[in-house]
């Protein structure tokens, strides 16, 4: 006697497969967003370290852009002995799933010494 459940399996498959594809897409998008945020953090940290060493603004921006996501905006602020670097970027995503990301790193400016002449004293 043939089973009459064959149509239910087809209907369930037609519902489950698109749901699994959507779930996989959302997980992939979330991972890409997390990776972009980590790049923002790395870029801010690299920029703060470069600025704390006293490098020029162009070198600081280059350090940030080497680690940050493509198209990231960089803001550098000096507050006394502190250097603050903020990186802002947008994630890639379909329509409203585009997120604004930001990361900030703060470093204390290094003291300048007289160079190698004072190293042995």
2 pLDDT tier (thresholds 50, 70, 90): low
Residue 1 lies in a domain: no
pLDDT in tens, 18-46: 999 999 998 999 999 999 999 999 999 99
pLDDT at 49: 95
Distances (CA, A) of 35 to 38, 41, 64, 93, 113: 5, 10, 16, 13, 38
Distances (CA, A) of 45 to 3, 65, 84, 116: 64, 11, 9, 27
Residue 15 inside a domain? The answer is: yes
Average pLDDT over residues 53-74: 93
Judge whether 72 lies within some domain. yes
Q: Does residue 80 lie within any of the structural domains? A: yes
The answer to whether residue 59 is domain-embedded is yes
Q: Which residues span the domain enclosing 101? A: 6-118
Q: Is residue 50 part of a domain?
A: yes
B/e letters for 18-40, b = 16+ CB within 10 Å, e = fewer, are: eeeeeeeeeeebeeebeebbebb
- Residue 11 domain flag: yes
Handedness of CA 109, 114, 117, 118 (dihedral sign): negative
Tally of domains in the chain: 1
The whole-number pLDDT of residue 119 equals 45
Tell me, yes or no, whether 40 lies in a domain.
yes
pTM for this model (two decimals) = 0.76
Query: What is the three-class DSSP state of 71?
Result: coil
């Amino acid at each position: 006697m043939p089973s009459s459940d064959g149509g239910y399996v087809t209907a369930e498959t037609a519902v489950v497969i698109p749901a699994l594809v959507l779930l996989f897409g959302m997980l992939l998008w979330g991972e890409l967003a997390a990776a972009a945020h980590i790049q923002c953090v790395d870029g801010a940290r690299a920029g703060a370290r470069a600025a704390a060493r006293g490098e020029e603004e162009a070198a600081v921006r280059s350090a940030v852009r080497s680690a940050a996501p493509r198209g990231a905006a960089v803001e550098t602020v000096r507050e006394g002995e502190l250097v603050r670097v903020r990186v802002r970027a947008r994630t890639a995503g379909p329509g409203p799933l585009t997120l604004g990301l930001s990361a900030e790193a703060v470093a204390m400016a290094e003291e300048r010494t007289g160079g190698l002449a004072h190293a042995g004293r």
